[in-house]
Amino acid sequence: MERIDLNKQVFDKTQFSNTINTAFTQLTGSSSTPVAPVVTVDQFFQYYQELFYQIPKFGLINSHEYLIQTSGEYVGEEQLNSTIQALIDEITQLREENLVLQQSIITTSLSGSNTALNNANSTNV
């Protein structure tokens, strides 16, 4: 069997206080380490509006494309797709209504023209 020597370093009370930081400054935030300022949601969107045209359209990070992709993942693609589909359905319905109205206008115009021709022909006879 192999022998392993363990060494233990021991401090007296004075050495311990001088060597080990017991102030817990990492937990209280009272250290000299700079802390990034907290940005509120309102401030974020204000900054976003100010920087809108400086943000690149495309890119893997720090771009509008990145914001769309990550927000889409967060919101859920199904939600975005269902909104898009609802808008496509509404456009289709409006196009059908427009076609019906155009056909009605043409029918009314032709009917009025036929009536005018019939009246003109009956007065010439």
Per-residue model confidence as pLDDT tens digits over 23-68: 766 666 555 666 677 889 999 999 999 999 999 999 999 999 999 8
Q: Alpha-carbon distance 51 to 38, whole Å?
A: 18
Would you list the domain boundaries of the chain? 37-75, 77-115
Instruction: Assign 3-state DSSP to the chain and report helix, strand, coil percentages, each to 5.
Output: 70, 0, 30
Per-residue model confidence as pLDDT tens digits over 82-117: 888 999 999 999 999 999 999 999 998 888 777 776
